[in-house]
Structure formats: C-alpha cells, structure tokens
Amino acid sequence: MKTLVVNKDHELSIQEIPIPSFNECQALVKTLSCGVCNGTDMKIIHGAFKNFDTYPAALGHEGVGKVVETGSKVRSLHKGDIVLLPFVEGKSGDIYSGWGAYSEYAVVGDAEAYIANGMGPGTPSFSEGYLAQTVIKPSDKVDPVEASMIITFREVLSAMRRFGFRPNENVLVFGAGPVGLCFTKFSKLLGLKTVITADIDDAKVQFAGQMGADYAFNSKTCDINAEVKKLFPDGIDYVVDAVGINQLINQAMELVKYNGKICCYGISPKLGMDLDWSRAPYNWSLDFIQWPSKKEEGDAHAQIMAWINLGVLNPKDFISDVFDFDHIIDAFKLVEERKSSTRKIVIRY
C-alpha cells in the first residue's frame, strides 16, 4: 500500500509498505480520509516534535476508515463500520510509525475485545488509543471526509474539560487556526459569558467572529492588552495559547485575573521559556496539555456528535481544502504557505 513518509532531512515522499497485519482483537481498515494537523504533523516534518526522533516515519493521526476485515475475537466492530483513529503501529521495514494514518490501510483495536480477553488497560498489548477509536453511526450527520474534523473537536473539548472551563466565565483565545476556532466555538456552546479571540491575520479574525467570538482582534494592528483591559480591568478568567508560542505565556501574565488560569494547548517547538510574572496577579495557575488523554477524547465523543447531529456544530465550517491522496504533497505545500484562507486541510482516499 501507499503511505506518506518524511525522512530526517524533512523531505516528504509517497512510498510502498506492506498492508499492516492485525491480531484477533483488531480490525483492518481501508482509509477514507485523514486531516492534516498543522501542529503535530508539521512539527514532525521539521524535526521539532518533542521526543520524536525516529525517521523515516509514516505520518498521519487524524484518520477515518471503513472496517474491511476483523479479528476472530472482535466484538464491537463489524465490516462496513466507519471508525476514527486507525493507525499503522510498529515498524515497517526501515520506516517507523508516526501514527501512519496517511496510508491506504490501517488498524483499529476493539477495546471491548481486549478487556473481555484479559488484555485491557495496563497490559502490554493494550494501547490507550483503542479507547478513542470510535464508530461513526449510520444516523450521524457527517460524511467520512468531514468526520476527520471530529478528532480535533474531541481533542479540544477534552482539553477544555481538563482546563476546567465553566459557564458564565470569560476567555481570551490566542490563535484562530483550526484549534483556536474550536476553542472559540466550544466556549460559546459551553456557556462561557464572553469569548475574545485574537490572531494576526484579518481574515482569520473575521472568521473567529463568525464562529461566535464576542470580540475578535488583530493583535498585530492593535494593542490587544489594552483592548482586553478595557473590557476586563481586573483581568480575564482563562487565557488560551492555541498557537504554541511561548512568548504568549508572558503576555498572558498581564491579562489573567486573580486566581485565573493560563492554558497552553499543544507542544511548542521551543521547549523552554523565561517567565516574567512581575505584572501578573499574586495568584494564578499555568496549565499545559501537550498530549490529549485518549480516554478523555473518547469520552468527549458523545457531546461532539450531539452538537453535530443537532446542527449547532458543522465540521464543514472548519475545512477549507480537500486533496486527493495522490496530491498529498501539494496539500503540505499549502500548509507551508500559511495563506489566511487555509483552515483544516483533509486528505481524501
């Protein structure tokens, strides 16, 4: 089968590897789509992903696929099921796994089968990822291309739950890319009182307003600190770094309220910082979520699908481009161009 590979020199290529094998508690999946992650994928490509140094690597972790074969002990998966998060595990020849969902085939694990056969969480054969490899129901109002967006949705919602977002509080989100837009949209759906979103691109700022931001600012052309202080002289409850730029943490110090929280989502390419809390309140907290819990991600699935099925969350709003797999390298070139019109890019098989 074909798969997308990046080497240690940051070069992308489509290569042939064997279709992955699967055990009695797993299923083989034909890939239908995979979302491009502007964070993880791009950091791996540029050698800037924390603790990842196994190259060449097969990329992709936002996959959607159709079950085509099942292991003998599989209980909750059936041929034809549409599933999230298929991966290519382990090493194929000299190519390591960077989750490998930009492949024509991949594998999912049936958590129920593992648990029933005494190989559940805590055992060597069980991956936490199996807890998030969810089936999309035929009644769910989403197609396989749109479904790749659900993975980002679930990651962000589970992070917001971990950060402790509460209704009637106020949030400032730095960044209006796919992740920042999710924070913006979900904050309104979860009942936060005031949502402010900031970006350095006018088109993205405008789109943040369309996604529900009460205030959207271009922080390159205005004094964002002054604008936020006009609205909240005593500071704001949550300041979110949805970009992965460490300098935003110091900027947030001046904006967070007493006992407020600075929330950092994702892994910055720079793994260190100089903190200056001279302008911060006496009490505040700094919370990092660099790696979503797959169990918590799976637990967020029901809420995300309820929003989609009720029509208050539309995955299409977050997707700007769809590329066929044969043009996947062109898709990554588009990411590198950083056009203001580009949001989530999805690869279609």
The pLDDT tens digits of the residues spanning 230-258 come to 999 999 999 999 998 888 999 999 999 99
Q: What topology does CATH give the domain 153-289? A: Rossmann fold (3.40.50)
| Cα 329 to Cα 335: distance, rounded to the nearest angstrom | 10
**What are the residue ranges of CATH 3.40.50.720 in the chain?**
153-289
**What are the residue ranges of CATH 3.90.180.10 in the chain?**
2-136+314-348
Amino acid, single-letter form, for residue 335? V
Q: Which residues pair with 345 in a beta bridge?
A: 321
pTM: 0.95
Q: How far apart are the first and last CA of the chain?
A: 12
Beta carbons within 8 Å of 327's beta carbon, 6+ residues apart: none
- For position 245, what pLDDT does the model report? 86
- For position 148, what pLDDT does the model report? 97
Tokens representing residue 108 in the block: 């999912």
Which parts of the chain register pLDDT below 50?
A: none
- Closest alpha carbon to 335 in 20, 35, 17: 35
Dihedral sign of CA atoms 188, 194, 199, 203 in order: positive
Per residue, what are the HEC states of the chain? CEEEEECCCCCEEEEECCCCCCCCCEEEEEEEEEECCCCHHHHHHCCCCCCCCCCCEECCCCEEEEEEEECCCCCCCCCCCEEECCECCCCECCEEECCCCCECEEEEECHHHHHHCCCCCCCCCCCHHHHHCCEECCCCCCCHHHHHHHHHHHHHHHHHHHHCCCCCCEEEEECCCHHHHHHHHHHHHCCCCEEEEEECCHHHHHHHHHCCCCEEEECCCCCHHHHHHHHCCCCEEEEEECCCCCHHHHHHHCCEEEEEEEEEECCCCCCCCCCCCCCCCCCEEEEEECCCCHHHHHHCHHHHHHHHHHCCCCHHHHEEEEEEHHHHHHHHHHHHHCCCCCCEEEEEC
> Tens digit of pLDDT for each residue in 27-79?
999 999 999 998 899 999 999 898 899 999 999 999 999 999 999 999 999 99
Q: Which long-range contacts (CB under 8 A, 24 or more apart) does 140-144 make?
A: 140/305, 140/308, 140/309, 141/308, 141/309, 141/311, 142/308, 142/315, 144/32, 144/33, 144/64, 144/66, 144/82
What is 2-136+314-348's CATH number, 2.40.70.10, 3.40.50.2300, 3.30.1280.10, 3.90.180.10? Answer: 3.90.180.10
- For position 330, what pLDDT does the model report? 96
